Amino acid sequence: MNSKKPILLHGFDRSGHSHRAELMLRLLGLPFDFHQVDLAGGEQRSAAFLKLNPFGTVPVIEDDGVVIADSCSILVYLATKYDAEGRWLPRDPAGAAQVQRWLSVAQGPVFNGPCRARLVTVFGADLDHALAKATAEKLFANLDPILADKTFLVEERPTIADIALYSYIAHAPEGGVALDPHKNIVAWLRRIEALPGFAPMPATKAGLLAA
């Protein structure tokens, strides 16, 4: 199924949450327009934006009258509507549950670890950087052996679970968290980057990349 007109993605180009949605749109080959939300200028608190998402966060998509906020919800929506074969979101109960498990990891350890560490170094957020780094390092220590004998997180092909975790883990060095010690994670990142349609999130010279 193809979108009748371009999907409108409201996002921010250096947000890993936004990149999840953008990457999924690209991997599905869906036409979309990108609206850069002026977060520094407070556009996310404007009446127009709050009508789309009362929580005032990016990303949000508009798809022919349907409005979906929250990056993981967007992944589920796009995979359900535009992937009839169920490649990106398994239809069987066990596969669907495994994907949901990793979406929870994306909203938990990934958010509290590499995401928050990067918020400090890239955007100057007033957060506990040491705690965020420790959370990221614990996550990576758990994730690396899981990926030792797996091509992707759930199946031998990628699912939205991989997309949900990719962006902030790939950019963890910007938050001061090294990836080099975790060879299986690095190999998994490279496999995602080799997918047709992949496009990266812009890099920022911060953290371990500041030099």
User: Beta-carbon neighbour count of residue 164 at 10 Å?
Assistant: 27
pTM to 2 decimal places: 0.95
Radius of gyration of the chain (CA): 17
**197 Cβ partners below 8 Å, 6+ apart?**
26, 27, 28, 29
pLDDT 10s digits, 47-66: 999 999 999 999 999 999 99
pLDDT 10s digits, 89-147: 999 999 999 999 999 999 999 999 999 999 999 999 999 999 999 999 999 999 999 99
Tokens 């890099």 label which residue?
A: 203
**Strands 66-69, 60-63: pairing kind:** antiparallel
How far is it, in rounded angstroms, from Cα 79 to Cα 86? 7
Q: Which pLDDT value is given to residue 3?
A: 44
Give me 204's structure tokens.
């920022």
pLDDT 10s digits, 151-195: 999 989 999 999 999 999 999 999 999 999 999 999 999 999 999
CA quadruple 152, 200, 180, 175: dihedral sign: negative
